[in-house]
């Protein structure tokens, strides 16, 4: 439990950021403690910062970080606070640096096709502005309406349409970052902020992509401008068994249709879960057990040709096209179908409000059926012991940027009746997280495709997954953050400071 | 030193934790939000767009209920945070818990109700916002809101002054509820409505003593005064056997349909109608001719209570498209879920700079549209800050009834 | 009817669709209320508000389509073309 921050520190923060942007009041602290991932509200006060600042410039961020170093106070960067791995959750109090006021569009460069923004801007709001020029910023996670560019870099986010337009790391060209010791540097592919591909020096952009705020604070980013698509195509196919759906998913992903943006596989548990309210839209035939969806974007002429190739695969697959209303409506609602608390059900079918945990992993295509079996068994084990856990099924999404035929962002969604948390259920949950992560590694995958892996439970397996890479992580952390003030306690990186 | 709550538990020195009745009513919606973590509300929230402060987000408004239940926060910690809301309704509409499953479960997010309840709880605990308290006291004393300032009385006897020379009778089967802000501050609005209704052949009267609908009292936590206003108005209607009440201002309409029925078991006697729907219907059916061209290039501001809260966005556009000579550049009503004037729930009375900034941004959005130098709204409350911000940059702000009356050949 | 009438806000009688779903208002499906009695209770939602939610959902979905692309292609149309080509 964090103690109150020293008045002298608060005074210094005020001198840097101005009185109106420094907060120590309880509501300011308690409302910046969590992210959407399941949160131990019974231990809320263990996760609050000691002070909050809302800086407006890289200079202010740099000075705050230097102050933190001088006084040995932790710093926790926070963009949207919409991540799913506790990256923005304070573990040791400290100064929370909330970048939301840094949400300006600084420059739109039509010649270089870039837009430069502050880290506090949301992608949907950015795209609304870009539309006036005929552009969009298509970094499209489920959190598209609420996550912020700074967090997308912090987590190296994944996009539902990454197969066509790339993911955060492909759409972010370069960014300015304040290092844990306060220096402000620019990283990208090489030197010029608008260079997309370079071989000059180390490729530092990739080091900081996905650092979960442990290596610095992003203060500006230069992004790709993508032409607003002329046309969109989405199709949903229903199958009476999972394996046919899995095979069709693979075929579509390997189709090499250039306009293809992504393919999604819904397993039987997921279809059953969506049925909990799908009846609200169009009642589905009982024979629909698993579903495959695909989406594509482009000019109308190329898209018609590409869509027909995809449809021919669908028609030959044994699956049934689910009609335009579902194929379009369900695709357009792709951001909104995940975390519906009312979809929670107790064992006797009563509605209970549940929060949503999404375990995401990167799994090679051939391993998907086996991983599905093992993960559902883990979820069933939890449900058997505690009614508060509910299996909301699995999705698998094409994971590769521009090349959708590789591995899959594989997720199991578990509903958790959070008001029932106690120490026993929390421990069981953390164990389950470890088991889920272990399965991913055993099947040649990664613990996480895009959320990050610094939550309790899964983080224990990061050294196993990284192998020798974990030693490199520790060395880099020690060098860049000698005083361990930048989001300390994440990713087991305290180990970097232990004497041999 | 620990104090005890109504439930007898120690609260570490924090007084005024939430009573069980409050939690019974609001715990479920609070958990519905807290458990979801969607936060799609934030970027459509006009206050969050300006302040970027998580204390004033719809998310925080719900999380605080949970935090207060667990003894981490008290009403003293959060009362002022709850001031920062226009009750525009964008959050609770955009929230997937409403938009995607609210109808299926008959259970939706109700951020506005949570904010109202928390503001009322604060007032009950003796925590007042200075200007809102004064505003409530004067409304109680005068019968109408102090829309002309703290010292210019806005009594029930003066509320019909805008109708001078129009010979409108008192009461009758249909009554025009002119609204405090419109009646006193922007009388061209009720005058325009009155002339248009006459032109459509609608017979109507005015209340004997129209009092404030009570809306801002419910919104700022002064529930007893709100009840007093509502009861008075219903007695006034019944005095002349009024059956239909026409509301030009969507604030009145939504207050009456949401808050009056629980106070009166015979409320079904009354039919409440939006003037904007009535006028649109009259145009559609050929009962209102708009023969005078209005040569302007304008855009339309969807007032929050009309668009987000009531789902009424077609009637005003129908009206504008029927005005000859008018070049109407539209911005769709879903994009406008994230627009606001900042005037709602009397935010401007406590935080004028915040309302001013929200309005400034709304005007700036209108300026981006090619050739537009006029913004039409359909809510007198929004027109106050929008007009002020518009003046600074040469953007004229009209009420829809003003511009329609002009098109009907009236000089208001 | 143009205006608001309180008596017009009560939902009509329910018709069962399956063992967990019923319908009252046209084209609007609802959960069997008996599944919301123990842990979370339903709210009173007037008919005008139910319609607002449903209408708003479709309006939002069309907005989301337009946000990402100027138009959406129809799978049914394309399938008809594929059939003709066969």
| pLDDT single digits (tens) C9-41 | 999 999 998 888 999 999 899 999 999 999 999
Residues B294, B278 contacting (CB under 8 angstroms): no
Whether complex ipTM tops 0.90 = yes
Look at residues B293, B281, B144 and name the one whose alpha carbon lies nearest to residue B225.
B144
What distance in Å separates the CA atoms of residue A267 and residue A160, rounded to the nearest whole number? 17
Dist CA A448 CA A27 (whole Å): 32
Interface with A, mutate which of B12, B16, B24, B38 (most A CBs under 10 A) = B38
Listed in sequence order, the residues at least 6 apart from B24 whose beta carbon sits closer than 8 Å to its beta carbon are none
Dihedral angle, C-alpha A46, A52, A57, A61, nearest 10 °: -50
The 10 Å Cβ neighbour count of residue A311 is: 20
CA-nearest of B43, B76, B69 to B57 is B43
> Structurally, what CATH architecture does the domain formed by B289-407 represent?
3-Layer(aba) Sandwich (3.40)
For residues B28 and B40, give the distance between their C-alpha atoms in angstroms, rounded to a whole number. 19
Q: Do B261 and C50 touch (CB under 8 A)?
A: no
Q: Please tell me the predicted confidence (pLDDT) of residue A286.
A: 83
User: What are the start and end residues of each CATH 3.40.50 domain in chain B?
Assistant: 289-407
Contact B272 C4 (CB under 8 A): yes
- Position A1 scores a pLDDT of 47
Do the Cβ atoms of A149 and A116 come closer than 8 Å? no
Question: Coil, strand, or helix at residue A133?
Answer: helix
Count residue pairs from A and C with Cβ separation < 8 A: 106
Q: Is residue C1 part of a domain?
A: no
Say if the Cβ atoms of B72 and A146 lie within 8 Å.
no
Cβ neighbours for C30, distance < 8 A, ≥ 6 positions apart: A280, B103, B104, B105, B106, C14, C21, C22, C23, C24
**Residue A248 sits at the chain C interface (C-beta within 8 Å):** no
Residue in chain A nearest C38 by alpha carbon: A350
Query: What is the distance in angstroms between the Cα of B410 and the nearest Cα belonging to chain C?
Result: 26
B45 interaction partners in chain A (CB closer than 8 Å): none
State how far the Cα of A213 lies from the Cα of A489, in Å rounded to an integer. Answer: 11
Q: Answer for the pair B372, B364: CB distance below 8 angstroms, yes or no.
A: no
Tokens 């979820």 locate to A379
Is C75 close to A353, i.e. CB distance below 8 A?
Answer: no
Could you say which residues from 331 to 360 on chain B have a Cβ atom under 8 Å away from some Cβ of chain C?
332-335
Query: Which residue of B311, B312, B313, B333 is the best one to mutate when testing the C interface, meaning the one whose CB has the most C CBs within 10 A?
Result: B311
Does the pLDDT of residue B51 top 70, yes or no?
A: yes
Cβ(A287)–Cβ(A217) under 8 Å? Answer: no
Chain C contact probe: residue of A332, A349, A419 with most C CBs at under 10 A: A332
Chains sharing 3 or more CB pairs under 8 A with chain C: A, B
Other beta carbons less than 10 A from residue A21's beta carbon: 18
Strand partners, A52: A23, A96
Q: What residues have CB less than 8 Å from C86, skipping those under 6 apart?
A: none
**Is A31–B32 a contact, with Cβ atoms under 8 angstroms apart?**
no
Residues 6+ apart with CB under 8 A from A409: A158, A360, A361, A362, A395, A396, A397, A398, A399, A449, A450
Q: Do the bridges between strand B174-176 and strand B244-247 make them parallel or antiparallel, or are there none, so unpaired?
A: parallel
C3 in B contact zone (CB under 8 Å): yes
User: Rounded to whole angstroms, how far apart are CA atoms A407 and A367?
Assistant: 9
Which one, of B105, A390, A170, A347, lies nearest residue C36 by Cα?
B105
Please return the burial class of A396, using the count of CB atoms within 10 Å of its CB with bins 0-12, 13-18 and 19+. Answer: buried
- Element holding A397 (H helix, E strand): strand A389-398
CA distance B128 to B75: 11
Domain count, chain C: 1
With an 8 Å Cβ cutoff, are B101 and A277 in contact?
yes
As a whole number, the mean pLDDT across chain A is 95
Which residues of chain B are within 8 Å of residue A2 when distances are taken between CB atoms?
none
Q: Which domain holds residue C38?
A: 9-85
Shortest Cα distance, chain B CAs vs residue C46, angstroms: 10
Distance from CA of B90 to the nearest CA of A (A): 13
pLDDT in tens, A59-117: 999 999 999 999 999 999 999 999 999 999 999 999 999 999 999 999 999 999 999 99
Which residue, B72, B79, B100, is CA-closest to A34?
A: B72
A154 min Cα distance to partner chain C (Å): 25
User: Chains near A, with 3+ CB pairs < 8 A?
Assistant: B, C
For B290-327, what is each residue's pLDDT tens digit?
999 999 999 999 999 999 999 999 999 999 999 999 99
How many residues does the structure list for chain C? 86
Which candidate from B36, B39, B101 shows the least CB-CB separation from A355?
Answer: B36
The count of residues in chain B is 412
Q: Is the pLDDT of residue B7 over 70?
A: no
From the list B303, B313, B307, the residue with the least C-alpha distance to B382 is: B303
Using alpha carbons, select from A117, A119, A165 the residue that is nearest to residue A141.
A165
Read off the pLDDT of residues B118-139 as tens digits, 9 standing for 90 and up: 999 999 999 999 999 999 999 9
B53-95 pLDDT, tens digit each: 999 999 999 999 999 999 999 999 999 999 999 999 999 999 9
């Amino acid at each position: 439990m964090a103690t109150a921050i020293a008045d002298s520190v608060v005074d210094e923060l005020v001198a840097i950021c101005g009185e109106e942007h420094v907060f120590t009041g309880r509501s300011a602290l308690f409302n910046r403690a969590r992210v959407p991932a399941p949160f131990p509200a019974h231990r809320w006060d263990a996760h609050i910062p000691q002070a909050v600042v809302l800086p407006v410039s890289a200079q202010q961020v740099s000075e705050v970080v230097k102050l933190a170093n001088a006084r040995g106070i932790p710093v926790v960067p926070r963009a949207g606070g919409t991540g799913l791995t506790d990256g923005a959750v304070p573990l040791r109090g400290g100064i929370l640096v909330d970048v939301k006021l840094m949400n300006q569009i600084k420059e739109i460069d039509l010649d270089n096709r870039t837009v430069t923004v502050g880290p506090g801007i949301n992608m949907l709001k950015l795209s609304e502005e870009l539309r006036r020029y005929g552009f969009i910023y298509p970094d499209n996670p489920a959190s598209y309406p609420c996550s912020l560019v700074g967090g997308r870099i912090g987590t190296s986010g994944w996009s539902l349409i990454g197969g066509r337009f790339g993911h955060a790391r492909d759409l972010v060209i370069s960014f300015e970052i304040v290092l844990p010791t306060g220096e402000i540097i620019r990283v990208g592919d090489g030197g010029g902020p608008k260079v997309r591909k370079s071989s000059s020096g180390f490729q530092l952009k990739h080091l900081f992509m996905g650092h979960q705020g442990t290596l610095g604070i992003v203060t500006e980013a230069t992004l790709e401008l993508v032409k607003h698509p002329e046309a969109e195509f989405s199709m949903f196919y229903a199958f009476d068994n999972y394996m046919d759906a899995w095979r069709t998913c693979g075929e579509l992903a390997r189709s090499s249709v250039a306009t293809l943006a992504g393919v999604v596989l819904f397993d039987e548990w997921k279809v059953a879960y969506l049925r909990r309210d799908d009846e609200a839209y169009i009642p589905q035939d009982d024979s629909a057990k698993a579903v495959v969806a695909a989406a594509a974007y482009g000019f109308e002429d190329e898209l018609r040709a590409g869509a027909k190739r995809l449809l021919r695969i669908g028609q030959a697959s044994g699956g049934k096209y689910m009609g335009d209303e579902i194929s379009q409506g369900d695709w357009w609602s792709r951001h909104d179908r995940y975390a519906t608390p009312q979809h929670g059900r107790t064992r006797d079918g009563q509605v209970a409000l549940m929060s949503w945990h999404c375990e995401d992993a990167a799994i090679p295509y051939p391993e998907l059926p086996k991983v599905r079996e093992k993960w559902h068994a883990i979820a069933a084990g939890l449900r058997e012991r505690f009614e508060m856990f509910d299996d909301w099924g699995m999705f698998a999404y094409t994971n590769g940027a521009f090349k959708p035929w590789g591995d899959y962002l594989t997720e199991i969604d578990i509903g958790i009746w959070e008001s029932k948390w106690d120490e026993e259920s929390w421990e069981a949950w953390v164990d389950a997280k470890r088991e889920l992560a272990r399965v991913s590694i055993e099947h040649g995958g990664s613990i996480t495709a895009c959320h990050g892996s610094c939550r309790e439970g899964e983080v224990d397996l990061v050294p196993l997954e990284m192998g020798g890479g974990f030693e490199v992580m520790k060395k880099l952390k020690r060098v860049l953050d000698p005083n361990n003030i930048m989001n300390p306690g994440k990713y087991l990186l305290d180990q970097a400071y232990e004497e041999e | 030193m620990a104090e005890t709550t109504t439930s007898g538990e120690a609260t570490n020195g924090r007084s005024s934790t939430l009573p069980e009745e409050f939690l019974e009513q609001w715990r479920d919606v609070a958990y519905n939000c807290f458990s979801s973590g969607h936060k799609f509300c934030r970027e459509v929230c006009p206050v969050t767009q300006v302040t970027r402060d998580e204390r004033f987000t719809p998310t925080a408004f719900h999380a605080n209920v949970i935090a207060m239940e667990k003894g981490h926060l008290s009403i003293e910690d959060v009362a002022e945070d709850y001031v920062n809301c226009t009750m525009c309704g964008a959050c609770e509409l955009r929230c997937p818990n409403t938009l995607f499953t609210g109808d299926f479960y008959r259970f939706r997010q109700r951020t506005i109700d949570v904010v109202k309840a928390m503001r009322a709880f604060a007032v009950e605990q003796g925590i007042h916002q200075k200007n809102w308290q004064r505003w409530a006291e004067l409304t109680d004393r005068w019968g109408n809101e102090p829309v002309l300032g703290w010292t210019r009385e806005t009594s029930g006897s003066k509320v019909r002054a805008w109708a001078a020379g129009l010979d409108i009778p008192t009461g009758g089967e249909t009554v025009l509820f002119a609204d405090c802000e419109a009646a006193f501050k922007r009388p061209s609005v009720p005058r325009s409505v009155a002339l248009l209704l006459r032109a459509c052949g609608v017979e109507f009267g005015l209340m004997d003593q129209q009092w404030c609908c009570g809306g801002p009292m419910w919104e700022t936590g002064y529930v007893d005064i709100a009840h007093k206003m509502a009861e008075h108005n219903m007695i006034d209607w019944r005095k002349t056997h009024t059956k239909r009440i026409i509301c030009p201002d969507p604030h009145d309409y939504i207050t009456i349909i949401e808050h009056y029925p629980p106070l009166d078991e015979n409320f079904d006697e009354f039919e409440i109608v939006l003037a904007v729907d009535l006028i649109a219907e009259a145009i559609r059916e050929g009962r209102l001719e708009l023969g005078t061209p209005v040569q302007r290039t304008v855009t339309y501001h969807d007032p929050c209570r009309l668009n987000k809260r009531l789902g009424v966005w077609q009637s005003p556009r129908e009206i504008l498209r029927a005005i000859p000579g008018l070049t109407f550049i539209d911005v769709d009503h879903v994009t406008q879920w994230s627009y606001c004037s900042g005037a709602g729930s009397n935010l401007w009375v406590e935080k004028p700079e915040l309302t001013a900034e929200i309005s400034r941004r709304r005007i700036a959005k209108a300026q981006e549209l090619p050739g537009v130098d006029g913004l039409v709204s359909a809510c007198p409350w929004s027109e106050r800050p929008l007009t002020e911000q518009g003046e600074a940059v040469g953007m004229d702000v009209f009420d829809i009834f003003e511009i329609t009356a002009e098109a009907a050949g009236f000089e208001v | 009817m143009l205006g608001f009438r309180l008596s017009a806000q009560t939902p009509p009688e329910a018709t069962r669709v399956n063992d967990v779903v019923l319908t009252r208002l046209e084209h609007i499906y609802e959960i069997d209320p008996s599944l919301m009695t123990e842990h979370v209770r339903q709210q009173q939602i007037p008919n005008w508000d139910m319609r607002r939610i449903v209408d708003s959902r479709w309006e939002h979905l069309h907005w989301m389509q337009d946000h990402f692309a100027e138009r959406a292609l129809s799978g049914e149309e394309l399938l008809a073309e594929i059939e003709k080509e066969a």
